[in-house]
Amino acid sequence: MNKWISTMVLSMSGLLATSAMAAPQDPHSKHYVHQNQAELHQPKHEMDKKLDPSRDWRIGHTLPRQYQSSRYQVDYRSHKHLAQPKRGQQWYQLNGHYVLVSQHDHKILKML
């Protein structure tokens, strides 16, 4: 009797283990992924709107993280109308506008 129960328990655990292995490994279903991608799309009128720092930001606002990279930084010496920044400040060029930003807290100090 004990041998028969042991055999049944082992066979059932083996059956459960194989069904768990055969389960899909992707925790997200395709429907879920498509639903989230649809929510990420911006309406066309928002995509056409170009960045305008003088309209979108004010002095004292924080420069958005996507613009804090070195690709937007400019050297004041190559642009005659830019004043030399003080220590801890950096000029950024964003869509034809120049923004002076504090490197410590990324606050906008001046806009041209």
Residue-wise pLDDT for 11-68, tens only, equals 777 766 666 565 566 655 555 555 555 555 555 555 445 666 656 788 898 988 888 8
**Cβ atoms 57, 108 nearer than 8 A:** yes
Residue 96 has a pLDDT of: 83
DSSP assignment of 70-86? GGGEE-GGGSTTSPPPP
Residue-wise pLDDT for 56-112, tens only, equals 788 898 988 888 888 999 998 988 889 999 999 999 988 888 999 998 999 999 988
Instruction: List the domains of the chain with CATH numbers.
Output: 50-112 (3.10.450.160)
Q: Which pTM does this prediction carry?
A: 0.53
